[in-house]
Amino acid sequence: MIAGEERARLVQGALESISAGSKSFRFASQLFDLPTRERSWLLYSWCRACDDITDGQTLGHDAGRVADPAARIAFLKEKTAAAFAGEETGLVPFDALRVVAADCAIPQAIAADHLAGFERDAAGWRPTTTDDLLSYCYQVAGAVGVMMAHVMGVDPADEDTLHRAADLGIAFQLANIARDIVEDARVGRVYLPTDWLEAEGLAGADLADPRHRPALARLAHRLSTMADEYRRSARIGAARLPFRSRWAVLSASGIYGEIATRAAAFGPRAWDERISTSKAEKAALVMDAFWEALWPVRPSSRTGLWTRPSRP
């Protein structure tokens, strides 16, 4: 059992992390009931740290090439294993994971899936096919969706709802990739599949060149269309959650979905400046999600969507 004072300290540290690292997730997380909200912050703290440590960045900013990528991944694996073993690490993100994993019985295998995505980044991996892209999106974001489903009390045996939780994370990552194509290319990261690039007559080195913006706009539209498919699937899973969790999930879906929509709508201008939503726009999307959360959702199959590997 975690002492109240220690838990409060970890929650406060996690809140500071999310407030600086993701205004969108921070905004949506306010809709959860208090226990779920705090647990979502604790989980975010670990996820944020994994991303920052892998990329040598601070709270999602100023990513660059690092000199010791393998050592960084080894560090993440060691401290994450310690957290799941119930050991204190003295590091807020990993102690936060220790608390939330124990509270919500988060499977260590799902956390390992998440780390596998960062390991790909550290190795300079690039996707060749659409399936490669989607498996990566699952690792870095869909696995977080599955862990969040545990935080929200989804039955671990409810595979369909867990798949749909992964779908929402995949949609989020597709939106992020569309928004950040040029920014990623400038630091040597390419997340568009090689076969997509070849169909446009491009190579990874071309993505930061403004002359290729019309081709990038077509690729961003493709990513946005895919993201919409996974978001539609995720709505089915969200409908099975308690109202406040459903509202929070649909709010996050709307906010991140707006990023993908704008990346597609702006065409070649999508990378002139970083796409974001204002506080007023977020508030409007949250209200849209409120009404959406009240209406029943028509059942729909996941046929044709990439499916995460089953985990115990």
φ, ψ for residue 287, nearest 5 deg: -70, -40
pLDDT reported for residue 291:
96
| Cβ–Cβ < 8 Å for 31, 290 | no
pLDDT in tens, 94-129: 999 999 999 999 999 999 999 999 999 999 999 999
Q: Which of 11, 24, 33 is nearest to 245 (CA)?
A: 33
pLDDT higher than threshold 70 for residue 220: yes
pLDDT reported for residue 194:
97
The sign of the CA dihedral 297, 300, 306, 310 is positive
Q: Please tell me the distance from the alpha carbon of residue 104 to that of residue 184, in angstroms, as a whole number.
A: 34
- Average of per-residue pLDDT across 189-207: 94
What fold, for 1-125? Farnesyl Diphosphate Synthase (1.10.600)
Q: Which of 224, 6, 177 is nearest to 96 (CA)?
A: 6
pLDDT reported for residue 64:
54
At 88 the three-state DSSP class reads: coil
pLDDT reported for residue 234:
97
pLDDT reported for residue 59:
47
pLDDT higher than threshold 60 for residue 63: no
Q: How far is CA 211 from CA 70, 93, 182, 183, 191, in A?
A: 35, 42, 12, 15, 19
pLDDT reported for residue 58:
52
At 58 the three-state DSSP class reads: strand
pLDDT reported for residue 102:
96
What fold, for 126-312? Farnesyl Diphosphate Synthase (1.10.600)
Prediction pTM value = 0.92
* Identity of the amino acid at 86: G
- Residue span(s) of the chain under CATH 1.10.600.10 come to 1-125, 126-312
pLDDT reported for residue 311:
63
What's the whole-number average pLDDT of the chain?
91
